[in-house]
Amino acid sequence: MGGLAALARADGHEVSGSDQSVYPPMSSQLEALGIELSEGYDPAVLDPAPDLVLVGNALSRGNPCIEYMLDHRLPFASGPGWLGANYLSGRRVLAVAGTHGKTSTASMLTWILDQAGHAPGFLIGGLPTNFGVSARSGPDLFVVEADEYDTAFFDKRAKFVHYRPDVAILNNLEFDHADIYADLEAIEQQFHHFVRTIAGNATIVVNGDDPALKGVLEKGCWSRTQRFSHKDGGDWQVELAEPAGRQLRFLQSGETVAELSWSQTGRHNAMNALAAIVAASEVGVDPATAAAALAGFKGVKRRLELLGEVNGAKVYDDFAHHPTAIRLTLEGLRRSVGGARILVALEPASNTMRGGHHIGELAPALMAADHVWIKTDEAMDWDPGEVLARLDGNGRPRRQIANLLKDLREAVRPGDHVVFMSNKGFANAPQRFVRGEE
C-alpha cells in the first residue's frame, strides 16, 4: 500500500493514509515523499471526503474507517484493482509470483531492465537497495511483485489476477497463508486462476524443479513457457561455480550464455537471478547484459541485510516468513561463513507461523544455526520448546525482547554472525542490538 501511495503521488494525486504500528523502511519512505501518515484508524481522516479510498487487505468489516467509508457511501477500490486499472493497463507488465523470492527476484529484474536502459516502473513489496524506494512510475515496462494473498475484504481473489502480465515468473509454490487457504491445493487453484488470465502470446517463466508448479500448469496452460532449473532439466539452468553461490554460470539449452560474480549467496538467490535473466530476455535483454547488471545488484532491505558489527560480530536483519525461506537463508550463510558461529533470533510473526502450521518444519530449517532464541508470547498456538528440543539444547524461548537482547550480548563473540529473522517489526530488536539499547 505504501508503494501504491508513492505511485499515486508521482501521478499528481494528493495522498494520505492510515495504518497501525508503522515501521521503517516504509514509514521513512512515505515521510520522504511528503505523504501524510496517520497512526490508527480514526474516521476523521476521511472528513472531508477523499475522491477515492484505496483499501488494503489487512482491513476488514468492523474497522472504524471501513465502517465510516461504507456508511457515508465513499467511493473505494482495492489496491491491486486500482493498480491494474490505472497503471498496468497499456504497459508491458512483468509479474513475479511465488511463495518465496518474489521481492528479491522482482528487484533483480527491475535492476537488469534499468541498467539495460528501459527505465522500468515497479511496485515491489520490499525496498531494493539499488533504488532506495519500493515503487516508481515508468513509461512502458512495469515490474510488479504478484502476491497470492487475497485482494480485500470485498474481493477474496488473489491479488495477482488483477495484473494480466506479458511475462509472468512462477518462482515456487508451497503451503502458506493458512489464515485464508486451507491447504496447498487451495493455493494451487489460485495460481491456476492466475495462469488462466495470462494471454496466449505472453510468456510464463516457471521453476521446472517445483512439483507444485508442475501440477498448476497441468491444470491448463495457454501461454508460451520457459522452464528454469538448477538441475539438468528445463530450457535454462544455473550452476554454482563455488559452494556459497557468489560465482554462477547460466546456461540456455545446455550452452553457457553468461557468468556472474556478485555479492549475493545461496542456491535460492542463484535461482532468483536465473528467473530474472530469463524474464528480461523476453523483453530483449540478452543474458550477458543481464548478468553484468546483476554484478552490481546490492540486495534488498531486510533480506539478510548487514546492519553493522557488535563486538566483532556481524549483525543481519532478515525477512523470514516461512521455514523454507529460513532454511535457505541460513544454509546459504553457512556455506558462506564456514565454521563461524551463527546465532539466530527468530520472531514467528506471520499468521501461518503463529498458528503452528509449520512447527514440524521449523527445527530442520534452523539446523544451520549454532544457537536460536525464539520470541514467544501467550497468543502463539504452539510451544517453542517443542522446536528447540530438537536443536540439541542450543535454543531458548524468550517472551521479553529485552531479555532476548541481553542473552545475545552475553553470548556473542568476535567472528560470530547474528541473524534477526521476522516478517514484522520485531520491536526494532535488530537496530536496538546494534546500538546497544535494551
Average pLDDT over residues 293-301: 90
The pairing of beta strand 155-158 with beta strand 92-97? unpaired
* Contact of 390 with 384, CB cutoff 8 Å: no
Q: For 372-414, how does the pLDDT look when each residue is reduced to its tens digit (9 = 90+)?
A: 898 888 777 777 777 777 777 688 888 889 999 999 999 999 9
Residues 332 and 237 in one domain: no
Give the predicted TM-score (pTM) of the model.
0.79
Residues 248 and 231 in one domain: yes
C-alpha cell at 399: 517472551
Flag whether 186 is in a domain. yes
Q: Which residue, among 233, 235, 185, 180, has the nearest Cα to 205 in the 3D structure?
A: 235
Residues 56 and 113 in one domain: no
**Displacement of CA 135 from its chain's centroid (Å):** 14
pLDDT in the model for residue 217 = 96
Amino acid at 282: E
Residues 337 and 199 in one domain: no
**In sequence order, which residues have a C-beta less than 8 Å from that of residue 362 and are 6 or more positions away?**
323, 326, 348, 353, 387
C-alpha cell at 275: 528467473
Q: Give the position of cell 496452460.
A: 221
pLDDT in the model for residue 130 = 92
Instruction: Write out the DSSP string of 101-144.
Output: -HHHHHHHHHHHHHHTT---EEE-SS-BTTTSSSEE--SSEEEE
Flag whether 399 is in a domain. yes
Number of domains in the chain: 3
Flag whether 224 is in a domain. yes
Residues 146 and 179 in one domain: yes
Flag whether 5 is in a domain. no
Q: For 113-158, how does the pLDDT look when each residue is reduced to its tens digit (9 = 90+)?
A: 999 999 999 999 888 989 988 899 988 999 999 998 899 999 999 9
Q: 261 has which bridge partners? A: 247
* Contact of 104 with 124, CB cutoff 8 Å: no
Flag whether 3 is in a domain. no
Flag whether 335 is in a domain. yes
* Contact of 147 with 78, CB cutoff 8 Å: no
CATH value at residue 46:
3.40.50.720
* Contact of 276 with 375, CB cutoff 8 Å: no
Q: Which residue, among 269, 270, 235, has the nearest Cα to 251 in the 3D structure?
A: 235
Q: Which residue, among 109, 125, 117, 164, has the nearest Cα to 282 in the 3D structure?
A: 109
Residues 144 and 237 in one domain: yes
**Percent helix, percent strand, percent coil in the chain, to nearest 5:** 35, 25, 40
C-alpha cell at 416: 560470530
* Contact of 321 with 328, CB cutoff 8 Å: no
* pLDDT higher than threshold 80 for residue 351: no
Average pLDDT over residues 51-73: 96
Last residue of a domain, one of 23, 41, 74: 74
Q: What is the DSSP letter of 282?
A: T
C-alpha cell at 366: 534452523
CATH value at residue 208:
3.40.1190.10
* CA pair distance 429, 90, nearest whole angstrom: 43
Residues 252 and 183 in one domain: yes
CATH value at residue 319:
3.90.190.20
HEC string of 163-182? CCCCEEEECCCCCCCCCCCC
CA distances from 38 to 46, 67, 84, 276, 322 (A): 11, 17, 26, 36, 30
Flag whether 421 is in a domain. yes
The lowest-confidence range among 176-190, 202-216, 238-252 is 176-190
Residues 309 and 372 in one domain: yes
pLDDT in the model for residue 421 = 86
Q: For 16-57, how does the pLDDT look when each residue is reduced to its tens digit (9 = 90+)?
A: 999 987 767 678 878 888 898 888 999 999 999 999 999 999
Task: Considering only the C-alpha atoms of the chain, give the largest distance between any 2 of them, rounded to a whole number of Å.
Answer: 62
Higher pLDDT, 193 or 301: 193
Last residue of a domain, one of 294, 322, 345: 294
First to last CA, the chain: 31
* pLDDT higher than threshold 70 for residue 177: no
Q: For 417-437, how does the pLDDT look when each residue is reduced to its tens digit (9 = 90+)?
A: 999 988 777 888 889 999 988
pLDDT in the model for residue 121 = 95
Flag whether 300 is in a domain. no
Residues 42 and 160 in one domain: no
Residue span of the structural domain in which 407 resides = 305-435
* pLDDT higher than threshold 90 for residue 166: yes
* pLDDT higher than threshold 90 for residue 107: yes
Last residue of a domain, one of 294, 318, 353: 294
Residues 137 and 240 in one domain: yes
Higher pLDDT, 303 or 45: 45
Residues 70 and 85 in one domain: no
Residues 317 and 341 in one domain: yes
- What crossing angle do the helices spanning 102-115 and 287-294 adopt, rounded to 10°? 110
C-alpha cell at 87: 497503471
* CA pair distance 231, 208, nearest whole angstrom: 9
